[in-house]
Amino acid sequence: MKSIVIEQPGKLVIEQRPLMEPAPGEVRVKVSYAGICGSDVHIYHGHNPFAKYPRVIGHEFFGHIDCVGEGVDPARIGERVVVDPVVSCGHCYPCSIGRPNVCTTLQVIGVHRDGGFSDYAVAPAQNAYVVPAAIPDRLASMVEPFTIAANITAFLQPTPQDIALVYGAGPMGLTVIQVLKGVYGVQQVIVVDRIDERLAMARDNGADLTLNNLQQSVAEQLATQNCRPTLVIDAACHPSILQEAINLASPAARIGMMGFSGEASSITQQSITSKEISLFSSRLNSHRFPQVIAWMSEGKIDAEKLVTHCMPAHQVEAAMLLFEKDQRACCKVLLEF
Ligand code: NAI
Ligand code: MN
Ligand code: ZN
């Protein structure tokens, strides 16, 4: 089999490897599509603190089960599946309360162990979820990015009367917009970014109002609308955004964070407590695959709206470069195996 391997930071190779065998309790998936994510690019550049090298990257992938390990029902062979990258122990404190995404011994497929940018990948059998016929092969790998939006919104519990403000109209911001509109029916979704082309995508994905904060601050623009967001989601993740979000938010608002910056954010207790603001953080997903598969099957979310490119897997370097450098034209880039 061929695998896309980051041998060491900065060095990507397409390597011929012996076909892997699924361990007991695992399935082997013959991969047909995989999505490129910012974290794949970070591993490539050596900017992911969790990655070990060499590593087969890719954690958004779809394919067919073609072999099962000991203890797995052979009837599963042939299933069309997407794979939840969150591999957890099942018995630590977070696992015991249904939060395997922050398992004390968390292993993320494509980060801590070999992933889906490969002709074949192995995963625990319970991580492979059947994809119904309503979801075409090409879009199935998009389930994973939507699970991130499903996870953060599960904390925030959006309601139709919320005024939501979403920072960032990249892949993460767009999945969040779609879930706020299509699943929770939020009336007013405002999206801020610095790139007009991305704001156009935000509108196409359901945003009611878009703001470009390159020239004029969000605060100034919202003041003219006399608008106080009741729900803020930071999908841009610059450390300066948290204080701004707290200042802009309505009393009793909820704020969702998803960034991993190691830089400090400067915030005061007063700005949070005086308005009794709730802060939530969200990492990856906790068992959200079935929910997202249902939303996609029912047409509540439309993955097609995020996919701007699909390229053959052997062009992975060009695809990753495009994804990284051309934020005006690119959102989700898929690889076909
Ligand atoms: P992206 O880089 O494609 O999109 C970020 C967008 O935010 C860009 O369009 C950029 O122009 C905009 N932006 C940056 N700073 C801004 C600012 N100050 N004001 C307004 N807009 C601003 O990234 P992507 O893939 O959408 O991911 C977004 C973030 O989410 C990343 O930081 C990533 O690490 C994080 N993430 C977190 C996950 C989690 O589970 N917590 C999972 C996946 C991504
Ligand atoms: Mn991803
Ligand atoms: Zn655990």
Q: Sort strands 163-167 and 231-234 into parallel, antiparallel or unpaired.
A: parallel
200 lines ligand 1 (CB under 6 A): no
Q: What span, in angstroms and rounded, lies between the C-alpha atoms of 153 and 158?
A: 7
The residue whose CA has the least distance to atom 20 of ligand 1 is 193
Cβ 84 vs Cβ 100: under 8 Å? no
Q: Which ligand is nearest to the CA of 332?
A: 1
The residue whose CA has the least distance to atom 9 of ligand 1 is 170
- What's the token pair of residue 95? 């696992």
Alpha helices in the chain (DSSP H): 38-45, 93-96, 137-140, 143-156, 171-178, 196-204, 218-225, 241-248, 269-273, 289-297, 316-325
The residue whose CA has the least distance to atom 4 of ligand 1 is 170
Ordered per-residue pLDDT tens for the chain, 337 residues = 999 999 999 999 999 999 999 999 999 999 999 999 999 999 999 999 889 999 999 999 999 999 999 999 999 999 999 999 999 999 999 999 999 999 999 999 999 999 999 999 999 999 999 999 999 999 999 999 999 999 999 999 999 999 999 999 999 999 999 999 999 999 999 999 999 999 999 999 999 999 999 999 999 999 988 889 999 999 999 999 999 999 999 999 999 999 999 999 999 999 999 999 999 999 999 999 999 999 999 999 999 999 999 999 999 999 999 999 999 999 999 999 9
Ligand 1, residue 42: give the atom nearest the CA.
34
- In the chain, CATH 3.40.50.720 sits at 147-281
167 lines ligand 1 (CB under 6 A): yes
Sheet holding 55-56, edge to edge: 11-16, 2-8, 55-56
Q: ipTM of this complex > 0.85? A: yes
Q: What span, in angstroms and rounded, lies between the C-alpha atoms of 312 and 336?
A: 5
Q: What span, in angstroms and rounded, lies between the C-alpha atoms of 88 and 72?
A: 18
Cβ 27 vs Cβ 69: under 8 Å? yes
Cβ 130 vs Cβ 157: under 8 Å? no
Q: Which runs of E-coded beta strand occur in the chain?
A: 2-8, 11-16, 26-36, 55-56, 61-68, 80-83, 86-87, 107-108, 120-124, 128-130, 163-167, 188-193, 209-212, 231-234, 254-257, 278-281, 307-312, 332-336
Output the CA 37–ligand 2 centroid distance in Å.
5
Output the CA 97–ligand 2 centroid distance in Å.
24
pTM score: 0.98
Rg (alpha carbons) of the chain, rounded to whole number: 20
- In the chain, CATH 3.90.180.10 sits at 2-142+306-336
The residue whose CA has the least distance to atom 1 of ligand 1 is 170
Q: What span, in angstroms and rounded, lies between the C-alpha atoms of 213 and 216?
A: 5
Q: What span, in angstroms and rounded, lies between the C-alpha atoms of 297 and 133?
A: 8
Instruction: Write down the CATH superfamily of domain 147-281.
Output: NAD(P)-binding Rossmann-like Domain (3.40.50.720)
Q: Which CATH class is domain 2-142+306-336?
A: alpha beta
Q: What span, in angstroms and rounded, lies between the C-alpha atoms of 218 and 229?
A: 11
